[in-house]
Amino acid sequence: MTNEPLRIGVLGAARIAELSIVGPARAGGHRLVAVAARDRGRAESFAAAHGVERVADSYADLIADPEIDVVYNPLANSLHGPWNLAALRAGKHVLTEKPSASNAEEAIEVHEAVTKAGTVFMEGFHYLFHPVTRRLHELLDSGELGELRHVEAMVAMPAPPDSDVRWSLPLAGGALMDLGCYSLHALRMLAPWAGGAPRLVAARGGEKAGAAGVDEWLYADLEFPSGITGTANCHMAYDKWQMSCRVVGTRGEATAMNFVQPHLDDRVVVRTAAGERTEELGRRSSYTFQLEAFAAHLRDGAPLALDADDALTTMRLIDDCYRAAGFPVRPRTVLPAAG
């Protein structure tokens, strides 16, 4: 057991990294050892702005750095799988943004690489570590809502520009990859109260104009072994931001108003025969809770809810949704051979 700080390397200079890794690392006293980006100037600016110790010449150089224990991967979806594999083969622990790969076939390879490396791999479903989501689960445990009967999750946002990488099929884009994976995962995490893991019943979606094969929205219907129903919906050209999760029981219901971004809205609204109340669970970043859990596992062997098994299961469900809705599964990207 040690309280030594994690030594983290960051792939890319994405804006999300300020929220997802820079702030949490500072809060936990961890070291941001290095950052690498395709444009060295961007990496240098990122390092200067966020206190990263040095800039690596390439992603490969960062992964090879012996002073780095943990590789954080927030690259475009298409580069999650290849660089997760590279980092695992280099013997690093990996914290990757979701989804962990472009498709299930690639996720199987990542799973195999984790087993061979013997290191820790976690897909960044940060929402799961926040008190907002924990409260939904506590309400089901307590019996206040009765027996679970239905769940619905909606993760939607206004449309990004047409040039955004999230609209690119070769870069493994699409609403389900970027947003809907949260909805699917939130439903999967209700298995303990629903008799087991859900199965996909049906899915439908709409294609982004001018982007063949890319889903602008996708709605999926699922069913649990106990007969509980669920909908996992996503929309990447919606008229507003909505990231809600609603669980309905025989005695009442509870809605997390923004389970994906609880630092913006930490409310859980509970409705039962006794009336309605709003609980506020705190706006500390879910990413900070996530990194704390990751560090506790590495340091002390504390339980970790997310692993390569979980990532593979989610990716298989994503592929199933795409096929059922008439979309192709996302293509994988193969890195050029070194040398």
pLDDT value for 298:
97
Residues contacting residue 37 through CB under 8 Å, at least 6 positions apart: 12, 13, 43, 46
pLDDT value for 91:
98
pLDDT value for 1:
38
Residues contacting residue 298 through CB under 8 Å, at least 6 positions apart: 6, 69, 70, 93, 120
- Determine which one of 92, 98, 208, 240 is catalytic: 98
pLDDT value for 338:
59
pLDDT value for 336:
81
pLDDT value for 339:
47
Residues contacting residue 24 through CB under 8 Å, at least 6 positions apart: 30, 285, 287, 288, 290, 291, 292
Q: Are 182 and 155 in contact (CB under 8 A)?
A: yes
Mean pLDDT by 10 residues, the chain (339 residues): 87 93 98 97 97 98 98 98 98 98 98 98 98 98 98 98 97 98 98 98 98 98 98 98 98 98 98 98 98 97 97 98 98 80
Dihedral sign of CA atoms 104, 164, 10, 29 in order: negative
Partnered with residue 71 across adjacent β-strands are 9, 94
Residues contacting residue 76 through CB under 8 Å, at least 6 positions apart: 165, 171, 172
pLDDT value for 2:
67
DSSP string, 62-79: HHH-TT--EEEE-S-GGG
Q: Are 121 and 308 in contact (CB under 8 A)?
A: yes
pTM, two decimals, is 0.97
152-187: string of b/e by CB count within 10 Å (b at 16+)? bbbbbbebeeeeebbbbbebbbbbbbbbbbbbbbbb
Is residue 116 annotated as a catalytic residue, yes or no?
no
